[in-house]
Every structure is written in C-alpha cells, then in structure tokens.
Structure 1
C-alpha cells in the first residue's frame, strides 16, 4: 500500500480545499478537515495531527509527528514555509495563570480559552521539537533552531533559537533568487487545471506585417490576391490588401500554447468569428480568458479575442483545451 493517499482517496477525506501534487500520509490525523485548506506541492508526513482551521500555501512540508492546533482562529503557513519533526503550533490554548480550570474534560463555564491566529510567512523554517504559541507571527525568511520556544513575533530574515527564542543573526536572502528561478521554470512547464480559476486571463501583442502574410501563404498555399499588393486587392470591398484572418488564429494558438494554460496543453476545439478586417501595420492585442473549468474531465473553456490598436474587436471565439496533467519533475 502507498504511504500517501491517492488523488481519489483525498476526495473522501472531507478537506475543504486542496491543489495538485498534494501528499498526505495515511497516518495523519485530521480533526475538522472541513476547515483545512491545502495549496499545491504540499507534503504532510506520518503521525502529524491537524486540528481546526489550518491554511497551507504552496510548496510546504510538514514533517512527521507535528501538531497543528488551529482552533477557530487558525494557523496560516505561506508559500515555501516548512516545519521539521515534532514541531507543535498552537493557535488555541488554556489560561495557565490559575484563575481558571484547564483541559477539555472540564465544563466550559470553569475554563477560558486563548485563541489568537499564528502566521508563518514565506520562506520560514522551524526546527524540530520547537513550540509556537498563540498570537505569534513569524515574519518572512525567519529560521528557528531546534527545541525553541517561540512566544513572541519574530522580525523578518533572522536566525533565531532558544527558550524563549532570541535573534542570533541575519539570514541570507539568496534563497529568493532560487525561488524566482523555480517559479520561472514552473511557468515554462504550463499550468495544470488546479492552477486556473474563472476570470484568469493573459494578453499578448503582435504586429501584423506584410512579410508575415507572405510566409503564411508559402506555408498554407493561401495565395488569394486580396492579401497582397495586387489590382484585385485595391478593387476589393476594403480597397487595399487585407491580412489573412487565420494569422490571428495563430496568435491565439500561440497564446494558449505559450501561456494560458501553456506548455503541455492539448488544443481540443476552437470557434472563430471574424468581426473586422485586419490590415498590415495593425497592432493586435490577443486576450485569452478562462470562462469555465471542468476539473473532472480536465478541460478548460477559454474566451479567445483579438483587438486592433483602436480597441476594436476583430476576432471573437471560444476554445476548449486540456491542461497538462503530468506533475512537476522535481
């Protein structure tokens, strides 16, 4: 049996929301999973307990035997953050002052709760067996050494350790360059279905040139004289040469294959309506917009539009594409 739940099994756990490439160990205990949100590229290892409101971003690792007790206030881990084994994070606790009784076996009227959200910002790493108390914000880029007690918020880009924790020195920001390289590499791979949402769009500009028409005609054999410097073109309805409409279709194909959703996608269907003519020297803005998503069938419907430099729509249509399904190669 696999160590982690399969995609189909994840659907049965009652998790509020999760992205792609999510690995949850079969030995993880989830309490109130309907309040758990998980981003993309997340791994949660054996014997971890997650209880209450917990929100995890992208590229997050939670090592074995951790405890995340979000209560009603929540624990929020941003992108590229991680916690080592046996780390415990509390967004909820009891009052230890002696003014109230403690522990959940006692009726609530004799106890009082402390509920404050905990935030781990981007690129935070927490060493093994550390404890983080309610109300703490660990700012971006902080590293906390093993067996530390984090009872106060930490200033960004520091290395901390101790019980209670104290700042030892500044932390290098070189990892930000590595993160940029990673995101650039991922962008070249193309988006998956879970990366997309209705309303997402991209725009790309292209110049229509006479040379592009000559090249298009040589490839396709469409040598209709209305597209060239001929008598027929100047006697036509438009009174001058008009560019091939299917050059615009190429712009749309390029935008879909290059960015929305990008590399690895499969073009399944496309409709076109040619609204206005396009002439040589026109600058065309191509816009691709997500209008519906069928995650079950891995299909996205896109609105495909082209506009000239006067903001007039010259082409309108819809496309159906299949985003890439293969996970990242790392």
Structure 2
C-alpha cells in the first residue's frame, strides 16, 4: 500500500450546495478570500469522484485556493440511482458547475482544470464564454468521442491477441460485467489509464466508487474506458472550439488513452493554446509525473509559459 502523498493537503472547508433538488459536495483547500484567483478542478467519468485528483490540492501551497467537487450522482454528492437515463446530460453538469461557482461566490473570477471527462466539460463550459473564466486547463481529454474511439481501437490493436479477443467476445455477448472482461480490461488500464501499479489509494478510491455506483458512468459512457456505448458516444465540441476566448493549456501523456488524434483538435481550433505532453505518463500525468504536472500547471496559472514537449512531433 502506498503512503498518503504529502502533496494531498487537508481541506480548509467542506460543504454542500443545493442544486436541482440535490446537493453538490465541495472541498476547498486554501482561503477563498485571499484575493488569489481560485482553481476549480473537475473530475472525469462521467461518474467518477474527485478523490483521484486530490494531488492538485498541493497548488494551494502557493496561496491559490483549490476547489474539488463531486458531480451530482457521484461521491459525496447526492446519488440518484433511480433517475431516468435521460436526466444525465452534458447540460446538467454545465448547469451544476455554474451553480457551484455562484454558490461559492467566485463566479466573477476563477480558473478551471478538467481531467478526462472533466476537460470535455471544461471545454463545453468555456465555449459559452462565461465572464469570470480566466484560464482553462484541459487534461487528458478528447475533443470528440468518435476520435476517442479511433484512439481506443488503435491502442487495443497493440494489446496481446488473447486479451483483445476476450474483450471483443464479452462486448459482443453483452457480458462486460464478467470477471474475465475486467481482468482483460486491467491490461489496457495499466498501459493507458494509470501506469503507477498498484494504483495509489486516491486513484483506487475513485475506481471503487464507480464500481459501487456505476449509474452515471454506464449511462453516459459505457462499461469501460474504451467501449463507449452510452449517451456521450456521439459527443463533439470540435466545431465550437474557436469560441473559447481564454488562454488554454492542453495536457496529455505519451501513453494516454486520450491519444494525439483525439487531442489535436483542441490545439488546432482554440485560438490561445499550448499543449504539453508528459513522456512517462498515460491518462493520469498528475499521478504519474506529479511534480512536473504541478509545475507546468502552476506556471500556466501564474501567467508564464510552461516548458514541455513539442506536440508537433506527433
């Protein structure tokens, strides 16, 4: 078992905010009255929890407040296992984020960092040109689910033949809840989701939360990271990306399931953008190369140009 990393800082404040008849749970590291623009962190899934992103709380050491929250239906927020599948939409989570910013009193000035689905949500939010958004970080996210699937198919083709055969058999038979499917799935995850094996406790905690209540994940995504059959399967933000007006940082890992083919539209379409690639990472550079990740994000939020790999090599 890994020790709790010392860059996971304790919360200075926790609470919930009413939203659509439910409650959104949040956690603040630092002081929202400090005068420093806060960073709001959006987790992946859809249907994951904030826990696996807690290392970003270390950014508060420099005086910047960092806010984590669990999106509705997940974690410490209200769970709605009986909700009609049509309830779970991109618009729902955009509205929830809007409500959170207003509830915390920071809607006039804030940064956003979204990881995986959180980055998709961040892009969806930013194309609406909200007045208070200062800077945007999109980490390990696809610009469309079609391109995500293209990337996944390419990465799956590199798996051992027996592993890919097992995945295909169970996907075809609709038995993706079987132990054999999950065992084969782990081969892909250890290569392209998190290369720190065994996973650190905060990452394991988020995976366990999805297993415990897969309502949102299964409805919007599907049974696994690479078999998207949920309501998000036709999602794309590509044609709206030129509407993002704020400075934007794109992050991805060399082994990331969010491969360059899925990420590149952000780089090509957002007007004020830079892209940093983490050579030793897959889908979680914040866990796999934590110190560099924090340094790159810190520099960007402070207004400096972060150093990093040149995406042109892809």
Indicate the structure with greater helix content.
2
More strand per residue: 1 or 2?
A: 1
Same fold by TM-score, threshold 0.5 exceeded? Answer: no
Higher relative contact order (CA 8 A, sep 6+): 2
Place the TM-score, normalised by the shorter chain, in its bin: under 0.3
TM-score by length of 1: 0.22
TM-score computed with the length of structure 2 as normaliser:
0.23
Between Structure 1 and Structure 2, whose CA radius of gyration is higher? 1
